[in-house]
Amino acid sequence: MLVILANCVKYLHILQKYLIISTNRKKCERVVQVKQTKLIVNENSIKEFVGQLAANGVAPHTQKRYEHDVKMFADFLRKREITQKNLDAYKAAKLKEYSAATVKTMLFGLNKYLEFIGTELRINNKDLAAHREKTSDEQLTMDEYLRVLSALKSCSDDRLYVIVETICSAGIKYSELKYLTVEAIEAGLLILPYGVRKDRNVYLPKNLCADLRKFCADKGVYRGSIFLTKLGNFPDRGNMTGAIREACKNTGIDSKKLSMRAFKDFYTANFENIRSEMAELIDEDLRVLHTPSFAVSNENSFRSFALKWLNNDDNSLTEAAKNKYLRLCEEYIFPVLGNTDCRRITHAHADSVTERVYDMPLKTRADIMRVMWLTLDFARENGIKIRVSQGNLCTVNNRGDMLRILADDEIDRLVKYLKTADSTICTGIYLALNTGIRAEELCALKCGNIDFGRKMLSVPMIGSPQIYLSKKTDGYSRFDMTENIEMADKRVIFLPAFLIEFLKPVYEKIPKDCFLINGFPNKAYGVETVENKVRKIAGKCKLFNVGFSALRDTFGATCAENGMDFKTLENIMGSKNVERYYPEKKNVKESPLEFLRKAF
């Protein structure tokens, strides 16, 4: 028993010594930690701080900003300890050099660093005012914005115009432009990946995407970021701001309004205005819908504006187009939307007009959409707020394919320009509009392929490697490069008399071994050249979203509307995929009695 008690006392002494040692060790660790918080800011702790920021997904430019703020604090300390007194002195010193809003951002990064090293010391930045709201005189107005775009459009650097338009239309920062890629433009969606903006989706307007596609086509950018320099670097913010101010120095706009931040504020201000206008319009619609006389009101109805526009001498319509559009209004549009207020018409209303007749030809659908847009645009010019854009009413959907088919007045304007232009490429485009040949085939044609005596065009099978560059062409390869083409070495297209009369004076002067599109004997234009030329001509004619594929689709739809049979159109266009130019037929099951009547 005594032996057991002696051993217990021995073990108690050992346990007491262990507890004293562990307690002293914890005290030492606490002292070391306190001493570490009092140490000067060193380079190793700064590197570890930046590394933790990167691991947490903080944006690279934010990492550099925090690192810079901590190093400025280290220069202020000059190897002194970190104390609350020194922190307050640093804040007071910076307030003498910078504005309160700037100091607040600097202290935010420094507080992050103090939290990282484990100290409870902080700098109070809640008493500092944030950025003050700009007055109306300091903000960029819509008139000034349009003047800026007009000045940048005549500038030699195309990037400036697109950069300003992107920031003001999409509301993204200049630093976020590096994530704007060709793939994002095609999808109409920009995904911003870093920091607090992680997985932020920015939807790009259709008009902006059209301008960005044209910019990419002019610069030859087909993948990746679109604003990179020749060396693959993102352009400097200061250089771009200086170039914009230099280009706009004659506009009379204050230089403070010509900054990337001012463009972002312009988007924010106008976005709030749009939201308030939408709320006001919704309230107005709800009020009007409860008005008993709304259904019979003719003041803002579609019928009244359509008749005013058709009877207007400044509508630049030919007599044939005017009569056709009037017939379409009376036959298709007025029975559905005649008494509808133009302020309420949406894209769904336009679809309801074209879907009433199931087997309506695609060309007729395109003409109806065109009449509706021109009428609504005329109403907008007269002070009416409309809800649809030209992009919603310029395409026709058939079997899932969105086809851009030119209406009669658009064809008239395009043909007038092509006939008056003294250019072989314009003559070739006019030939394509009236024959439906592909861009690749037009580039491969030679003057010898036209037989003016027999009035026929021999279209050779595509064989030149440079002709297949249309895989890069926007919106064309989707339809024509994947269709089922069955051609022999040549296919023959008989040309009408009016086309022979137009082509003969131009191509009889050119040798037969020269390419038809440019008159050169040994060099053909690429498809990108022809596509860009068509888009430039369409822009001069004020045609929206017209590429080379629109010429081919217009030819096919016009032939189908005029009653050309399926097989003939198939032979002319050299394609097995011409059913998309014909309206989809209803699949009506025949009764057994009707089947027997036809059989016997």
CB 545 within 8 A of CB 391: yes
User: How confident is the model over 435-475, as pLDDT tens digits?
Assistant: 888 888 888 888 888 888 888 888 876 643 333 333 333 33
Expressed in angstroms, the distance from the first to the final Cα of the chain is 124
What's the half-sphere exposure (Cβ side, CA atoms, 13 Å) at 317? 21
User: How confident is the model over 64-105, as pLDDT tens digits?
Assistant: 888 888 888 888 888 788 888 888 888 888 888 888 878 888
- Please name the amino acid found at residue 330: E
**181 - beta bridge partners?**
225
Higher-scoring residue by pLDDT: 263, 293: 263
Average pLDDT over residues 120-148: 76
Query: Measured between alpha carbons, how far is 467 from 413 in angstroms, rounded to an integer?
Result: 29
pLDDT at residue 120, as a whole number: 83
Average pLDDT over residues 521-526: 81
Query: Measured between alpha carbons, how far is 61 from 518 in angstroms, rounded to an integer?
Result: 50
Lowest-confidence range among 215-219, 345-349, 530-534?
345-349
Q: Which helix (H) or strand (E) holds 163?
A: helix 158-170
User: How confident is the model over 187-212, as pLDDT tens digits?
Assistant: 888 888 755 445 678 888 888 888 89
Residue 527 tokens read as: 């498809």
Lowest-confidence range among 195-209, 339-353, 434-448, 555-569?
195-209
What percent of the chain is predicted at pLDDT more than 70? 77
The dihedrals phi and psi of 200, each to the nearest 5 degrees, come to -80, 125
The dihedrals phi and psi of 191, each to the nearest 5 degrees, come to -110, 120
Residue 47 tokens read as: 């590197």
pLDDT at residue 162, as a whole number: 92
Residue 596 tokens read as: 């027997």
Residue 188 tokens read as: 């109409």
Query: Measured between alpha carbons, how far is 210 from 370 in angstroms, rounded to an integer?
Result: 19
CB atoms within 10 A of CB 145: 19
pLDDT band (50, 70, 90) for residue 515: confident
Q: Is 510 helix (H, G, I), strand (E, B) or coil?
A: coil
How far from chain centre, in Å, is Cα 88? 49
- How does DSSP assign 557-582, residue by residue? HHHHHTT--HHHHHHHHT-S-GGGGS
pTM, two decimals, is: 0.48
pLDDT of residue 17 exceeding 70: no
pLDDT of residue 11 exceeding 80: no
The dihedrals phi and psi of 451, each to the nearest 5 degrees, come to -105, 100
**398 - beta bridge partners?**
401
Query: Measured between alpha carbons, how far is 284 from 307 in angstroms, rounded to an integer?
Result: 25
Q: Residue 91: CB partners within 8 Å, gap ≥ 6?
A: 103, 107, 123, 124, 125
Query: Measured between alpha carbons, how far is 565 from 567 in angstroms, rounded to an integer?
Result: 6
Q: What share of the chain is helix, strand, coil (3-state, %, to 5)?
A: 60, 5, 35
582: nearest Cα among 361, 264, 340, 261: 361
393: nearest Cα among 411, 409, 374, 412: 374
Residue 86 tokens read as: 């020194």
C-alpha distance from residue 24 to each of 14, 17, 19, 589 (Å): 16, 11, 9, 95
Q: Is 483 helix (H, G, I), strand (E, B) or coil?
A: coil
CA dihedral 414, 416, 420, 425 (to 10 degrees): 30
Average pLDDT over residues 21-28: 43
pLDDT band (50, 70, 90) for residue 583: low
pLDDT of residue 565 exceeding 70: yes
Query: Measured between alpha carbons, how far is 410 from 418 in angstroms, rounded to an integer?
Result: 12
- Please name the amino acid found at residue 343: R
Burial class (CB in 10 A: 0-12, 13-18, 19+), 176: buried
Tally: H helices and E strands in the chain? 25, 7
C-alpha distance from residue 70 to each of 65, 74, 120, 278 (Å): 9, 6, 17, 46
- Please name the amino acid found at residue 305: F
pLDDT of residue 484 exceeding 50: no
175: nearest Cα among 109, 235, 246, 221: 235
217: nearest Cα among 550, 528, 426, 549: 528
Q: How many residues are present in the chain?
A: 600
Could you say which DSSP state residue 256 is in?
A: G
pLDDT of residue 217 exceeding 60: yes
pLDDT at residue 590, as a whole number: 45
Q: Is 401 helix (H, G, I), strand (E, B) or coil?
A: strand
Long-range CB contacts (< 8 A, 24+ apart) of 234-239? 234/177, 234/178, 235/159, 237/174, 237/175
Q: Is 128 helix (H, G, I), strand (E, B) or coil?
A: coil
Q: Residue 524: CB partners within 8 Å, gap ≥ 6?
A: 443, 444, 464, 466, 467, 515, 517, 518
Query: Measured between alpha carbons, how far is 430 from 434 in angstroms, rounded to an integer?
Result: 6
* Strand ranges, E, within 67-184: none
Query: Measured between alpha carbons, how far is 240 from 246 in angstroms, rounded to an integer?
Result: 10
